[in-house]
Structures are given as structure tokens and as C-alpha cells.
Structure 1
């Protein structure tokens, strides 16, 4: 249920942003708001506490965000606080981002390597994934020394694993089956 609710709120926000031609600005600002909530979990907890009056919650939202984010986005935050949905704001941001990416031909790719990739290699991977998908690529990289070597690329629900750890595991499984 939370997914459907989050998607509906996110789509409504996206439609307003599109009317104002500020889709990216709204995404950036909503992301910044979610980062604030992530850094200050008590802030979000206060907004979701039923015993605190709505007016007090809205005053806190105004003090924290007025003049820093789009006025409609501030009104959106007040609305979801009033409706008791502010706890879903992270899900709403994710749904908004997915809709924005879909509408703008953007795909998110995650790459995990054993050591940090150089800027040149990162750019090369980004270009390759763009050629494969035919879309603009937003590349997120991370490091996991446990994969030993190679790379694990996640594109949507697909994963391409050429890590040394996986290859060694597959080799061990084949040897075990051969011996047994």
C-alpha cells in the first residue's frame, strides 16, 4: 500500500513540477529534504508524532525550509504531514526520481569494484552503458574489496557479475561436482 500511496503523491508532485518546467529542481530539492531527514531522524520523528499539533509541525517545516525550497514543494511537505504521510517521503522521492528518469531517458547503473575506478575508466563504463541502453547513464560506483577483482554492474533488475569472487565460486562448484 505504501508503494501505491508514494507513487501517487510523487506523480502529483511531478505533474506540478512539469507544469512549472522545474522537474530537475524539484528532484534536487526533494533529495536535499530527504538528506536533512536522514541526518536528523528526530526531525522526521517529530513530524510523524501524533501528539504534536499540526500547526507546530507546519511552523517547524516553514522555519526549516521556507526560502530554501520551491514554495509548492514546501506546501507538499505540509500536505503530506497533515495527511500523516510524511514518513513515506523517502519512498516518494524514489518514485519521483524513477518517474523523472523514465520521462527523460535516464537509467541508473551501479558498478561495484574491488578498488576505486579511475575517472577515465568510470567515463568509459558510462559511455559503454549508454551505448548499450541507448539512454543517458547516471553511474553510481562503490568499492567492495571482497569481490577481489573484476566488476559487478547492476542495471535495473539485471546484474552482470564478472567478479573474481564469483568466478572462483563457480570454479569451486564445478570442481566439487567433478570430484563427487
Structure 2
């Protein structure tokens, strides 16, 4: 829990810096690239984790590696992470960054479960209906589960909206058994 709070605080700072740089989406892409590299590249991960290398040496290497690819302020942010020993939180920081960016732009992500794969038009219709219902731009992440038989199950945050045929049949069965 503590790491999540720390990551969110750093993400908030990163978003503030990105807004000052007037490119929050670009900064997000750059930070995502680096976070993906940290998760994927064993050598990079070992370099950043190594207690044998000083924070100063790690900062020098990061500055040389990214001075031509990233804005100077973003490189300084990365160096601050290293100086504070928080460099391994970068993947969590980036996740929180995008959560904060979505929140600021009025966007939510919804896990949508359907019985069969929807067409592009059906998926767009689902997104449009959810956006109208929730009053925010909804980004659907569609999964197929034939067990729901039909309808749709939507999960946004902690809220679940179950409009599946399976649930409706279960409710009908319960009502009939009660009579």
C-alpha cells in the first residue's frame, strides 16, 4: 500500500511537469517506454537495482542515455527517482500517471464482458451508450465469456452492472422457486 501511495505522489508531480511542458500525452508515452524497458530488460533492471553503483553514477548514465530522447526536465525527474531510491517504482508511477491523466480528462476504463466477440460497430455502440450513462468518456476493454449466454456485464472501478442473460435466468429461477 505504501508503494502505491508513493507512486501516486510521484505520478502527480510527473503530470504537473508534463503539463508545464504542454505535452502530457507525449511525456506519458516516453515514461511508458522507459517503464516497459525496466520491466522487460534484465540488464537495465539489474543496473537500476544494483546497490554497488552509486545514485550519482546511475544518474550520469541516465542523463547520457536519454539527453537526446527525453526533455531535460523528464531526465531530471528520473534522476530524482534514482537519488531517492525510487527508480524501481517507475512502472507503478507510469500506471498512476495514466490513471491521473484519465481522471483529469474525464475518461474511465470499463471492463466489458460479452457472450460473443462484438463487431467494431457494436463495440463503438457499447462505448457510446456507456459514455452517455456515466457522463464520461468510456474506454471499453472487451472480453468474451460465452458463459454469460448473452447481454453484457460492465465493470467500472468497483461498480458492476450485470445485464447478462445468465443473471436474468438466475433471478427468474429464484422467483419461480419462491412461489
Q: How does 1:28-67 map to 2 (within 5 A)?
A: 28-62=29-63, 64-67=65-68
Q: Cα distance, 1:166 vs. partner?
A: 5.4
Bigger shift: residues 81-90 or 46-55: 46-55
| Structure 2: 5+ residue stretches without partners | none
Give yes or no for contact 2:109–2:138 (8 Å, CA) kept in 1.
yes
* Distance in 1 between residues matched to 2:3 and 2:97, nearest whole Å: 14
Give yes or no for contact 1:48–1:81 (8 Å, CA) kept in 2.
no
Over the residues paired in the alignment, what is the CA RMSD in angstroms?
2.9
| Structure 1: 5+ residue stretches without partners | none
* Distance in 2 between residues matched to 1:64 and 1:164, nearest whole Å: 55
Alignment match, 1:22: 23
Q: How does 1:104-143 map to 2 (within 5 A)?
A: 104-143=105-144
Alignment match, 1:77: 78
Give SS of 1:151's match.
strand
Give SS of 2:76's match.
helix
TM-score (norm 1): 0.79
Alignment match, 1:4: 5
Give SS of 2:112's match.
strand
Bigger shift: residues 121-130 or 100-109: 100-109
